Amino acid sequence: MRTKNNLLPKDLSTSRLAKNIPAEREVSAGGVVFRRSKFGIEIAFMKDSYDKWTFPKGHVEKGEALEEAAARETLEEIGLEEIRFLEELGKISIWFRDRYEQKGKLIHKDIYYFLFETAPDAVLLPDPSQHTYDAKWVPIKKVLQTSSYSDLAPIIKKALGYLAIR
């Protein structure tokens, strides 16, 4: 029932079966960060603990707004000094087996993403203690193909749409 990355098959998340599997519910928030460098618009990606390219995200702390959590996690995970909120991008829901805090526990997580801008010369400094093992700036034309997770496509498309009209 699990894939090699300990993720559940995509169709399970929408099936009736998923509703009958005991799972821990979690809420996370993350950031899609871009910069306007001399090379054009670039978007920050990080390599996660599954060795996949994605966006920074993490748990929402008690009393913390989603946007605040997204900014905090983004700054912590990819080492940026400053970001500016621009737009809410939407929510995705994922199912997976935890590898750290509750090893093996099935997790159903809602992740809310936000668009942020940073300085043109911003440097990415991944933090392995935050489960960020690499980070890079990706030209806007290569963003969809860089993302390792297909469920991020609607989030990416909304970010690209926002950037196209500005």
Write the single-letter amino acid at 32: V
Give the rounded percent of residues in the chain with a pLDDT score beyond 90.
74
SS3 26: strand
Q: What is the pLDDT of residues 37-83, one digit of tens each?
A: 999 999 999 999 889 999 999 999 999 999 999 999 999 999 999 99
Residues 6+ apart with CB under 8 A from 61: 69
Give the rounded percent of residues in the chain with a pLDDT score beyond 70.
87
Q: What is the pLDDT of residues 134-166, one digit of tens each?
A: 999 999 999 999 999 999 999 999 999 999 976
Domain 10-164 indexed as CATH 3.90.79.10: yes
User: What pairs with residue 117 in β-bridges?
Assistant: 34, 84
pTM across the whole model: 0.84
Per-residue pLDDT at 139: 98
Per-residue pLDDT at 126: 95
Per-residue pLDDT at 98: 84
Per-residue pLDDT at 51: 95
Q: What is the pLDDT of residues 75-124, one digit of tens each?
A: 999 999 999 999 999 999 999 888 877 788 899 999 999 999 999 999 99
**Is the predicted pLDDT of residue 6 greater than 60, yes or no?**
no
The pLDDT mean for the chain works out to: 89
Per-residue pLDDT at 18: 54
Write the single-letter amino acid at 166: R
Per-residue pLDDT at 14: 46
92, 9 contact by CB (below 8 A): no
Residues 6+ apart with CB under 8 A from 155: 32, 55, 89, 90, 92, 113
Per-residue pLDDT at 4: 47
